Chain A
Amino acid sequence: MPSQDAPHLDTSPVVLLVDDSEFVHRLLTARLKSESIRLSSAFDGMEGFEKAKEILPSLILLDLDMPVMDGFEALRLLMEEPTTRNIPVIVLSGNDTAQDKVTSFDLGAVDFISKPFEMTELRARLRSSLRISSLMAMLEQRAQIDGLTGLYNRAYFDQRWAEEYERCVRHSNGLSIAMIDIDHFKSVNDKFGHPAGDAAISGVAQLILNHIRKSDIACRYGGEEFTLILPETSPEQAMLLCERIRSECEGMHWPKHPDRRITISMGITGCADGPTMQSKPWIEHADQNLYKAKESGRNKIVCDETEGKLVHLPKAG
């Protein structure tokens, strides 16, 4: 429940200013007070690059002429680093030469502002770059989201699974994956039409979202199939979570078709402390478990460890 004294979350964009001159920091802090941004500071190229990786700002203002590491070198690093590559960079420079501008744009800067600053111009250019930044963020997010369900899409799943697998190997912690499929989906489509099929897919997606934790990643794998990546989750814990989803789905009431029940089958494979399986066979194995669940009558879960040992739900009571 929202509380009156919940801390106010500042969602205004963070702008990282990288400049070796204390004056410039003071000047921009004072002159950008009225803009709805939060200004963060770094004083040389290296510090700027490290800080950008850490805080992932919406925009970077980057001076060229700095000690330790100059602006061009920092810009090069920012554009090579996957996490900072899409952050727009405005170059600030006291040398208003065509060559510096060309080099900046060629390295990937979105804009170039000469010092001393014309403040109204700087503010307008800043706002313009922030618009680009928010469009980039939107595009990036859209490219990861499945349109029908709002879950992550297959492309995101592939990338995220590879990351979570690496993390699991590195830290030898738990990781489980669940493959989920709607039972007899074809007959839903055939009997009630495609809109009903779509409603079933988005209904199950919503149900999954309602049950998973913040750290879990729910994806639409394709058609009527979903996957759940469950970081730091042993197969036993995954089994409990998935059983709640399975049983709730079974009991769910579908307003347009009150007599119809929709059930799901699931295949889970997981490990408690580091995998004994490569990442691709791991997914195939979970898929085989899903197949076994279907074979043994549907509306079921088959769960095992990456060693192959089957996991059962603890007996109630």
Chain B
Amino acid sequence: MPKYDQAQFSLDVTDEDDIELIEMFLEELPSRIDSLKNTADAGDFSQLNRLAHQLKGAAPGFGFDPIGTTAAVLEKRLKTSNLEMVELDQIQSEFDALISECQSYLKYIDS
């Protein structure tokens, strides 16, 4: 019985190399979530845009397609806004979707 639910990952959860990448990403996931939250709280939307952009590009490679997809939605939303003028509540639903997607993987981290 594999440790990871294949339905949640876009890499092969029975392959040793793939698992190594999955775990590499999982290891940093809590601090990623923290910095997303802190950046949003601080109202630094250009930094938030950068974080979303990075997740969009990187998450799928590590097997986390759904995080990549929700990050892309947030990035797109930010891109159509003026980053100087944007308020958190305007992007709240896209932001929450990304955070909850990230959090859905926290159960795989041994506490």
**Which of chain A's residues 63-99 have a Cβ closer than 8 Å to chain B?**
65, 94
Q: When the two chains form their complex, are residues A31 and B61 in contact, meaning their CB atoms are under 8 A apart?
A: yes
Q: When the two chains form their complex, are residues B53 and A94 in contact, meaning their CB atoms are under 8 A apart?
A: yes
Q: When the two chains form their complex, are residues A116 and B60 in contact, meaning their CB atoms are under 8 A apart?
A: yes
Q: Chain B 37-68 against A: per-residue CB contact (8 Å), 1 yes, 0 no? A: 00000000000001001101111111000001
Judge whether B21 is part of the interface by a CB distance below 8 angstroms: yes
Number of A-B contacts (CB under 8 A): 47
Chain B residues with Cβ below 8 Å from A145 are none
Judge whether B5 is part of the interface by a CB distance below 8 angstroms: no
Q: When the two chains form their complex, are residues A23 and B58 in contact, meaning their CB atoms are under 8 A apart?
A: yes
Chain A residues with Cβ below 8 Å from B56 are 94, 115-116
Chain B residues with Cβ below 8 Å from A139 are none
Q: Do A30 and B58 form a contact, CB below 8 Å, given A94-B53, A116-B68?
A: no
Chain A residues with Cβ below 8 Å from B50 are 65
Number of residues of chain A lying within 8 A (CB) of chain B:
15
Judge whether B87 is part of the interface by a CB distance below 8 angstroms: no
Q: When the two chains form their complex, are residues A21 and B54 in contact, meaning their CB atoms are under 8 A apart?
A: yes
Q: Report the bound CA distance from A115 to B60 in whole Å.
A: 9
Q: Report the bound CA distance from A26 to B61 in whole Å.
A: 10
Q: Chain A 109-150 against B: per-residue CB contact (8 Å), 1 yes, 0 no? A: 000000111010000000000000000000000000000000
Judge whether B24 is part of the interface by a CB distance below 8 angstroms: yes
Chain B residues with Cβ below 8 Å from A31 are 21, 61
> Min CB distance, B67 to chain A, in Å?
11
> Min CB distance, A57 to chain B, in Å?
22
Judge whether B20 is part of the interface by a CB distance below 8 angstroms: yes
Q: Do A117 and B53 form a contact, CB below 8 Å, given A23-B25, A30-B21?
A: no
Q: Report the bound CA distance from A31 to B22 in whole Å.
A: 12
Taking CB as reference atom, which chain A residue is nearest B32? A23
Q: Report the bound CA distance from A30 to B11 in whole Å.
A: 13
- Which one of B58, B60, B68 contacts A21 once the chains associate, using CB atoms below 8 Å? B58
Judge whether A27 is part of the interface by a CB distance below 8 angstroms: yes
Q: When the two chains form their complex, are residues B61 and A116 in contact, meaning their CB atoms are under 8 A apart?
A: yes
Q: When the two chains form their complex, are residues B21 and A116 in contact, meaning their CB atoms are under 8 A apart?
A: no
Q: Report the bound CA distance from A305 to B58 in whole Å.
A: 63
Q: Report the bound CA distance from A31 to B63 in whole Å.
A: 12
Judge whether B110 is part of the interface by a CB distance below 8 angstroms: no
Judge whether B17 is part of the interface by a CB distance below 8 angstroms: yes
Judge whether A241 is part of the interface by a CB distance below 8 angstroms: no
> Min CB distance, A253 to chain B, in Å?
61
Q: When the two chains form their complex, are residues A23 and B54 in contact, meaning their CB atoms are under 8 A apart?
A: yes
Q: Report the bound CA distance from A278 to B28 in whole Å.
A: 62
Judge whether A252 is part of the interface by a CB distance below 8 angstroms: no
Q: When the two chains form their complex, are residues A30 and B57 in contact, meaning their CB atoms are under 8 A apart?
A: no
Q: When the two chains form their complex, are residues B53 and A65 in contact, meaning their CB atoms are under 8 A apart?
A: yes
Q: When the two chains form their complex, are residues B62 and A23 in contact, meaning their CB atoms are under 8 A apart?
A: yes
Question: Lowest 5 A-B CB distances belong to which pairs?
Answer: A116-B60, A23-B58, A115-B57, A94-B57, A27-B61
Give me 15 other A-B pairs in contact (C-beta within 8 A), A115-B58, A116-B61 excluded.
A20-B54, A23-B28, A23-B61, A24-B58, A26-B21, A27-B61, A30-B21, A65-B53, A94-B56, A115-B57, A116-B56, A116-B58, A116-B59, A116-B68, A119-B61
Q: Could you pull out 8 A-B pairs where Cβ atoms are within 8 angstroms?
A: A21-B58, A23-B61, A30-B20, A31-B61, A116-B60, A116-B61, A116-B68, A119-B61
